[in-house]
Structure 1
Amino acid sequence: MLENRGVGRKPLDWNARLTIIKDIAKGVDFLHHSLASHKVPHGNLKSSNVLIHHHDNQGNHHAKLANFGFLTLLPNKKSAEKLAISKSPEFVQGRKLTHKTDVYCFGIIVLEVITGKIPGEMLGGMGMEEEEEEKISDLSDWVRMVVNNDWSTDILDIEMIAAKEGHDSMLKLTQIALECTDDKPEKRPKISEVLRRMEEIEKTKNGNLIS
C-alpha cells in the first residue's frame, strides 16, 4: 500500500487516505462480529494484506482485506511468527491474544498511512539524541516520542504536509492510532469504537492545523 513512491505516482490526498482507513476499520469490525468466536479474527492485518481499488468512475479509493482467519489453522505459536500479530506486545511477551491484537495491527497500519513510514524503517533524521533513538523499537514508539516532544505535524507524511489541509483530522486520527497500539490490550479501544470516532472525524475533517 505504501511501497510505491516512484516517478509518475499520484499521491493519495487525505480524503482518499481517510476513506481507505475507514474501509479497513469496517472490514475488521465485520470480522470481529462474524468471527466473534475466533481468538484473533483477522490475525494477519498488515498493509500488504490491504487491497486498494477504484470503486467508481470518480476514481475514489476503497480498501478490501485479504488473508484473514489463518491463526486457527496454524499448529503452534512458532508457525504464527510469520503473521502480523507476532509484532504485538502480547505475542512477544507470551500473553493471551484477543480481538485487541487485531486492533494493535490496525493502529500500526493507520500510523503507516499518516506518516508515510513503515515499521522497521530507520526513523532517524529527527534530531533525536542517541539514547532516544535506542528507545525506538516500533513505528508507534517513534510517533509517541514526536508527539510527546510537541513536534505535532512532524509525524505527517510530507505529501500531506504540503497540502496544508486536514492536519487537524490527521492528528486526531493519530491519537486514535496510538490508543490502538497501547502496550496493554485492555486499554485499546474496540474496533467498533474506533469506527464511531472516525465517523466523527469525517464530519469535521476540514479543521484547522494544530500547532
Structure 2
Amino acid sequence: MELKFPRNRGPGRVPLDWTTRISLILGAARGLAKIHEEYAASRIPHGNVKSSNILLDRNDIACISDFGLSLLLNPVHAIARLGGYKAPEQAEIKRLSQMADVYSFGVLLLEVLTGKAPSQYPSPSRPRLDEEKQPVDLPKWVRSMVRDEWTAEVFDQELLRYKNIEEELVSMLHVAMVCVVPQPEKRPTMGEVVKMIEEIRVEQSPLGEDYDESRNSLSPSLATTDQDPLP
C-alpha cells in the first residue's frame, strides 16, 4: 500500500497522527540506511527517494521501494524523476549518489513535518494572495521561515493540535535541515540520521491520543526554544 502523506487531503481521509508519521519515517530511514550500508564499498545509492516510493506492508511497517531502477536509466533522466527531491549538486553533476539520497530523505521528512509538497508553492516573501505563484523548493522555504523567526508556521496544522510535542517537532525539523544542507560533504550519513531520530523518540515520547481539537497553533515562543536550532 502506498503511503499517503499529509498534503493529500481528500474527502474521507484519516489524518496521520504524529506518532504514526515518525514511525513511518523511521522505517523508511532504516531501509535507506540498510541499502547504503550494504553497498558502502561501491557507494551505490537508492536514486529515487520520494514519498511515492514509501510503501506500507500488511503490518503497517514502512518499506522503501524502487531501489535499483534509477541505476538502469540515463543519469539525466534518473535525476529528472526526482523532481523537488533533487539535491542541489545534481543540477550540475548529473549523477546519483548516497549523499544525494540523504538530501532527498531530508525533503521527505520536511514533507511529513509541513504537509507541503516538495516544490511549486508561493514564497513567504510574496503576499499569500499574489496570483503569480513563485516556485520555491521546500528546504528553501523552511530556511526562510526559520530565518525570519516564523518556525511555528512551518509545521502542518494537523500536527499543531497535539499537545506537548513542540520540542519533538523542532528536533525533527533540525534532523531534516541537516540532511538538506547544500554541501553534500556536510550532510550526515543515513546511519547517523537513524540514530538522531531514534534518540529523539527515546528522550521525548508524545502520546498519540493526547489530542486537542481546539488547538491550532504552537506557542509563540517555539521559534526561540533553541538559540540556533537550525543551520
TM-score, normalised on structure 1? 0.84
Instruction: Name 2:140's counterpart in structure 1.
Output: 141
Q: Which has the higher helix share?
A: 1
1:1-211 residue pairs with structure 2 within 5 A? Answer: 1-2=4-5, 4-53=8-57, 55=59, 61-74=60-73, 76-84=74-82, 87-94=86-93, 97-124=96-123, 126=124, 128-129=125-126, 137-206=136-205, 211=222
Find the aligned partners of 2:63 and 2:96 in 1 and give their Cα distance.
Answer: 24
**SS of aligned partner of 1:156:** coil
Inter-partner Cα distance in structure 2 for 1:134 and 1:196: 38
Q: Give, in whole Å, the separation in 2 of the partners of 1:129 and 1:6.
A: 27
1:127-157, Cα deviation, whole Å (9 max, x unpaired): x347xx9996310000111111111221110
User: Which consecutive residues of structure 2, in runs of 5 or more, have no partner in the other structure?
Assistant: 207-217, 223-231
In the alignment, is the contact (CA less than 8 A) between 2:28 and 2:64 conserved in 1?
yes
3-state secondary structure, aligned to 2:61? strand
Specify the SS of the correspondent of 1:111.
Answer: helix
CA distance in 1, matches of 2:157, 2:71: 39
- Does the 8 Å CA contact 1:43/1:83 hold for their aligned counterparts? no
Find the residue that maps to 1:158 and give its secondary structure: coil
TM-score (norm 2): 0.77
The Cα RMSD (Å) is 2.6
Counting matched residue pairs gives 201
Change (3 A) 1:189 1:71: same
Identity %: 35
How far 1:163 moved relative to its partner?
A: 1.8
Q: Give deviations 1:65-108, integer Å, cap 9, x for gaps.
A: 1101223322x333323332872111102266431111001000
Q: Check conservation: 2:119, 2:135, Cα contact below 8 A.
A: no
Could you say if the C-alpha distance between residues 54 and 156 of structure 1 is closer, same or farther in structure 2, counting changes exceeding 3 Å?
Answer: farther
**Matched residue SS, 1:153:** helix
What SS does the aligned partner of 2:158 have?
helix
Contact 1:136 1:142 in 2 (8 A): no
